[in-house]
Amino acid sequence: MPSFLSRPPRRIVVKLGTGVITSGIGQLNEPRLAALAAQITALRAQGSEVIVVSSGAVGLGMGRLKLERKPKIVSKKQACAAVGQSLLMQTWQRAFDPHGLTVAQVLLTHEDLRVRDRHLGVKETLRELVAYGTIPVINENDTVSAAEIKVGDNDTLSAMVAGLVEADYLVILSTAPGLIDMKGTGKIVPVVEKITPAIEAMAGGTTSETATGGMITKITAAKLATRSGCGVFIASGAEPDILPRLFSGRGPGTFFVPSGLPLESRKLWLAYFQRPHGTIHVNTCAVPVLCEQGRSLLAVGVTGASGTFAAGEVVNIAGPDGKVIARGESAFSSEQIPVLAGRKSDQVRALHPSRKHLEVVHRNDLVLL
């Protein structure tokens, strides 16, 4: 654990898994929610803004509809979410009532985070909700989210939200006590400085009937959030007083150290909120040009394109081994790229005489992954 903190964090996103707020299938754990509401209120009293990401809609809906297994059919799952989401919000409001706080339901789809205008709109609304003194309680809008517009799990959603609101900390509370070093000490790893393949190998999925992610999605979320300069805790929501304990460095849980400087928000948007429409493939020489020299991608380094994309759409950039090294907005379409691939700038100019910029992906529109 980090020996913390000289002043209270400015902004914290707290994500609660289905297993934290329910016991059994779809039975609310009201004492747990009450305890967490009290801890969140205490964080606010010390001057931190808190935004909650709460799972549980599907699980609570299953409970109310007396289903023992999560339905496989999407529309049935969406129906469970519709039933459960209102129960979830009622419960959160009841939990915050004794503290005189009002909760605000915010339901998001991947589109709301991906489309830049909507993304900025969500950010503004969250800012207003916090300014009104409410506690935003966010969930994915499961009832209307078809697979292709879904974030899919609330760990990832919470990391996206943490990036969006520029949170200093993301706390992911679930039934897992932290990241466990199964093959080594068998104990919780207290601090992760860098998410290496060895760290990723420690993570498994979930076997719970109502939950979604497991440790794998938590590590992915930690990767996203630390990359945007946010410290991440993974800890058990069943531990008493877990939030103040984490923030005073007394654990138990795993702390992921934020990496480097925060990406500025446009790059963050490119990197994490976009789904790439295709891939631009580059040659061996282009890799260090992008990764080490921090320059734009020129046609001469390009070997081809896959997928179908228009100029201005977001694409992955992959090295000769197929590994995705960057993401960016392509200035050319997937049809134009094969014609340009491998050509020098004067040849590109001859093909596109009216263009001011000849880069295939300009540095300002590119982020390394």
Binding region for ligand GLU (CB under 6 A): 17-18, 55-59, 139-140, 142, 153-154, 211-213
The least CB distance from residue 168 to ligand GLU, in Å, is 23
Rounded-to-integer distance, Cα 119 and Cα 109, Å:
10
From the number of C-beta atoms within 10 Å of its C-beta (0-12, 13-18, 19+), residue 289 rates as: middle
Our CB check for ligand GLU shows the closer of 19 and 276 to be 19
Our CB check for ligand GLU shows the closer of 80 and 326 to be 80
CB atoms within 10 A of CB 90: 13
Cβ partners under 8 Å of residue 107, min gap 6: 85, 138, 139, 140, 141
Tokens of 242: 């877990």
> Count of residues for the chain?
369
Cβ partners under 8 Å of residue 12, min gap 6: 43, 48, 49, 50, 51, 167, 168, 169, 170, 171
Q: Across-strand partners of 52? A: 14, 137
Our CB check for ligand GLU shows the closer of 88 and 199 to be 88
Tokens of 213: 């992610």
The least CB distance from residue 117 to ligand GLU, in Å, is 24
The least CB distance from residue 88 to ligand GLU, in Å, is 7
The least CB distance from residue 301 to ligand GLU, in Å, is 39
Our CB check for ligand GLU shows the closer of 109 and 336 to be 109
The least CB distance from residue 107 to ligand GLU, in Å, is 9
Our CB check for ligand GLU shows the closer of 22 and 226 to be 22
Tokens of 289: 């040009």
Our CB check for ligand GLU shows the closer of 57 and 366 to be 57
Q: Cα-flanking dihedrals φ and ψ of residue 66, to 5°?
A: 60, 45
Give me the amino acid identity at 174: S
The least CB distance from residue 154 to ligand GLU, in Å, is 3
Our CB check for ligand GLU shows the closer of 78 and 316 to be 78
The least CB distance from residue 63 to ligand GLU, in Å, is 11
Tokens of 94: 């009841």
Q: Are 331 and 312 in contact (CB under 8 A)?
A: yes
Among 300, 276, 306, smallest CA distance to 367 is for 276
| Residue for token pair 């329910």 | 22
Our CB check for ligand GLU shows the closer of 48 and 154 to be 154
